[in-house]
Amino acid sequence: MMTRRIVLAVLAAPLLAACSDFVDNEPLNPRPLPSGGATFVTYAAIGTSIAAGIQSGGINDSTQRDAYTYRLAQAMGLTPGVDWYYPSFRSFGCPGPFTNPLTNQRVGGGSATFCGLRAQVTPWVNNTGIPFLRAAQALDITAVPFFTDTVKLAQFITGSVSPVSAVMRLQPTFVTIELGANDVLHAATRGDTTLLTPTASFSASLTAIADSMDSLGSGPGVAIASVPNVTLIPHLSRGLMLYCLRFGCPGIPATPPYSSPNFLVNANCAPNAVIAGSKGDSAFVAFPTTAGLTSTLAAGAAATLDCVTGAVTINVGAGFVVPTQFSVYVLTPREYAAVVARVTALNAAIQTLATARNWAFVDLNAALAANAAQIPPFPSFTTPTTTLFGTLFSLDGVHPTRAGQRILAQAFATQINATFNVTLPAIP
Amino acid sequence: MRRNAVLGAGATAVALAFAFGEARAQGYGVYEHDGCAMGRSGTGVAAPCSGGSAIYFNPAGIVGSSTRWNGQVGLTMISPRGGFTSDASGATTDATANNIPVPTLFATRQLSSRWAVGLGVFAPYGLISEWPDTFEGRFLAYLADLKAIYIQPTVAVKLRDNLRLGVGFQMVFASVELRQRVDLSAQTAAPGTTFGQLGIPLGTDFADVHVEGSSRSAGGQVGMIWDATPRISLGARYQFRQTADIGGFASFLQVPTGIVLPPGNPIAPAGTPLDSVVAPQFRGSGVLISQRGFARVPLPDQFVVGLALRPRTNLTVLFDFQWVNWDRFEILTLSFSRLGQRTQFEDYNETHGYRLGFDWQATNRLSLRGGTLYHTAAAPPQTVTPLLPEGERHEGTLGLGYQLSSKLRLDLAYQRIEQQERRGRVADAPRGAAGVAANSGLYTSTANLFGASLAFGF
């Protein structure tokens, strides 16, 4: 009996000895939780040029670090380059930002087609913001064959993978979505309301994106931004400004060169408070047009402006300034109304979706309105390399500066805190 | 086109798996060529099992049998399982489950009371390391398959009644197969520019590499057994180092990316399919065409010393210590006719193995066996990859032998291998500390082995 027990014990010993407790297992080194909490372990961003970090008509590593997405990641406790990756562009950028949009000069002396390429391959890309991106292109980059630059930059940013697909691969725990600006902006800057994305197709794109998020098992937390009212950007100046600079209005004195008799401004550009029924409040002149008018009048040549028909004449000959980034254009009152109505409709769709999906809704227009005093009503042509469009908008009048991006990031952080009961710190 | 990514795994796979075959005691070096020895955790350098497997475990042990002829046929089924868990995502990729049969054949003849000869045909390796072709480590390897057949004529002599010497001459026929993918993002698109800088994401497959190599080499081992007392035996075996000249072929298959180059790229007009840009590399004067490869691989020597104690007439307790000189595997150079030459730094460490086993004759017909063994790891922290994610091991065995008749015995054994969960990498890395820094997750590995052999003596 004793022998049998001994033998049985000896027989059992080898199996026990093969237990994994007897080897010195090394540890897995999972990423530590970010200071913001487990919610933000994997934060991914879907967005437009604002999310990407475009400033002054260009993008480079410096402007990418100013983007609200980068700042949010930091607020979440993530470390860019370690556990949060963005597609850094090297050298002067892709292209380099304007240093003077009136002379088309850019950082490093590069052209609008220069591209310094990606700095390096990253393990993955958390910030999939792509300039010129429309909502449908978040699902399929080729869905809207409009801007070749979208396809070009998509290649550099996500390898031509759609942003939603790129984000899904990350299995994110939190996503910010900022779409819609390009679904209305091009209509505003090019004066073509056919470029407005129909509300129904925009809603369908958003729903498809939302369904993709929901397919991720427990689903990530999502904060979605409203479509900004693009008519408020300083790239567009109200027609009344040119009328008042020509003739003088309460609070806006006639100012050379606009006060030149060579400047034939139709009375329909007057503010409604000055001439009842005029359209100066609801007609907008795009920056290339404003710059062209300024250059023409400064040279002593003649120029005309009609705020109802949108007709404008400027001198585009040698020596006259017409920034080439956008077309010479006037947004007529009818077109303005269409753009504003579409922005309103898209935002209603976004808010409805956010409510239904328990997403945070970030009202960017409220943030803009709260800082309206810092948005100049007219470009400062005497400071074309610094505060041409004030301190919140960069030298293209469309994309925010670092200060402007901070306001957007703070708007996101505030709403994320309120919706998800977290405490992201203030954006510095 | 950068070549290092292609050469790296090719060099390592062909050489590593082959080298481990020679070591016979790490990776899935099969030390279990006999159900009897396997049941007692591979111990037996001082007291090999009868049946002829002494050809493998200690050539000196083939002399002194009470029967003129001894032979053995056997089969070991190896079922390794493993995976890799990523630090970053926490996701685990399971290695493909394979079941590997490893056959053996031994035969010995006593020429006289003092001389014996024998012949063994065995396969110390039936190794497959296989991963899904979507595994993040696929750019190092997603398949490594090694088959090695050893043919060993052996002669032994009894110098004295209690002292035996044996010598085995080994002819080794080995073949290796490797498959890996190549990552386009790491390749040069234009001088000073990689495809990654054009936005090609990390981990974009553009080529599938198939490497096959084979080798014929010769080696040998010597052994001795000293029966110090009727109850105590000492044994030792030394395996000579070898150098294997491995010749092989690499073939390449283009994997479509579907990527279209955008405006502003420096290598082709906008709208050009990227696949058409890289296609010339796979034909004509390109570097990714079928080509020969060669590697000279140092195979380590090893030394085993053991003790057999017989506290009772029906109980044998055995202990073996094994030393393998993996320090020789420091640098590996592989040459391909088109891709050029690559030096891979392996920096392996010598290993130590400790085996403890017992063999209990429970009845006239039935023997019960068991054992345990521990082995240190050869691969340094910077060289743990999907190709051979090895680590220190602890193993346990159980076995039994049943005398079917006076001439025939059946031996069965089971072995469980628990390998250390080991941090490793899934991408290429520089030598030394930088390689350790590249470790990005945890490799796990276990195995179940089932052995059976029929031994005869007449």
Q: For residue B3, what pLDDT is reported?
A: 44
Q: What is the pLDDT of residues A225-275, one digit of tens each?
A: 999 999 999 999 999 999 999 999 999 999 999 999 999 999 999 999 999
Q: Does B181 contact A at CB distance below 8 Å? A: no
Residue A58 pLDDT exceeds 50: yes
Q: Does A130 contact B at CB distance below 8 Å? A: no
Distance CA B138, CA B386 (A): 8
Mean pLDDT throughout B395-401?
A: 96
Residue-number span of the structural domain to which B406 is assigned: 3-457
pLDDT, greater one: A344 or A31: A344
Closest-approach residue (CA) in chain A for B416 = A18
Q: Quote the percentage of chain B above a pLDDT of 70.
A: 92
- Among A77-91, A322-336, B335-349, B433-447, the minimum mean pLDDT is found in A322-336
Mean pLDDT throughout B210-232?
A: 94
Q: Name the A residues in 58-117 with CB < 8 Å from any B CB.
A: 83, 87, 90, 94, 113, 115, 117
Q: How many secondary structure helices (H) and strands (E) does chain B include?
A: 5, 21
In which band, very low, low, confident or very high, does the pLDDT at A328 lie, cut at 50, 70 and 90?
low
Cα B122–B123–B127 angle (5° rounding)? 165
Q: What is the pLDDT of residues A196-210, one digit of tens each?
A: 999 999 999 999 999
Q: Is B433 buried (19+), middle (13-18) or exposed (0-12) by CB count in 10 A? A: exposed
Q: Name the B residues in 358-377 with CB < 8 Å from any A CB.
A: 358, 360, 362, 368, 370-372, 374
Q: For residue A4, what pLDDT is reported?
A: 53
Mean pLDDT throughout A213-222?
A: 86
| A83, A35 contact by CB (below 8 A) | no
Residue B5 pLDDT exceeds 60: no
Residue B139 pLDDT exceeds 50: yes
Distance CA B387, CA B400 (A): 34
Question: How high does pLDDT run on average in chain A?
Answer: 90
Residue B347 pLDDT exceeds 70: yes
Mean pLDDT throughout A333-345?
A: 96
Residue B46 pLDDT exceeds 50: yes
Residue A383 pLDDT exceeds 70: yes
* Cβ separation A31–B417 shorter than 8 A: no
Q: For residue B28, what pLDDT is reported?
A: 43
Mean pLDDT throughout B19-25?
A: 36
CA-CA-CA-CA torsion for B199, B204, B210, B215, nearest 10 degrees? 70
Residue B288 pLDDT exceeds 60: yes
Q: Does B96 contact A at CB distance below 8 Å? A: no
In which band, very low, low, confident or very high, does the pLDDT at B264 lie, cut at 50, 70 and 90?
low
CA B239: distance to chain centroid? 16
- Quick one: CA dihedral A248, A250, A252, A253, positive or negative? positive
The CATH number covering residue B37 comes to 2.40.160.60
Total number of domains constituting chain B: 1
Query: B interface mutation test: which of A157, A160, A169, A170 has the most B CBs within 10 A?
Result: A160
Q: What is the pLDDT of residues B401-449, one digit of tens each?
A: 999 999 999 999 999 999 999 999 998 888 888 888 889 999 999 999 9
Of B197, B263, B423, the CB nearest to A26: B423
Q: Quote the percentage of chain B above a pLDDT of 90.
A: 62
In which band, very low, low, confident or very high, does the pLDDT at A327 lie, cut at 50, 70 and 90?
low
Of A16, A23, A156, the CB nearest to B393: A23
Q: Which of A153, A146, A149, A93 is nearest to A128 (CA)?
A: A153
Mean pLDDT throughout A308-332?
A: 76
HSE, CB side, 13 Å, CA atoms: give it for residue B22.
Answer: 36
Two tokens, residue B97: 């489950």
* Cβ separation A113–B264 shorter than 8 A: yes
Closest-approach residue (CA) in chain A for B203 = A123
Distance CA A166, CA B137 (A): 20
Q: Name the A residues in 5-44 with CB < 8 Å from any B CB.
A: 7, 10-11, 13-20, 22-31
Distance CA A128, CA A412 (A): 17
Q: What is the DSSP string of A313-337?
A: E---STT----SSS---EE-HHHHH
Three-state SS for A261? coil
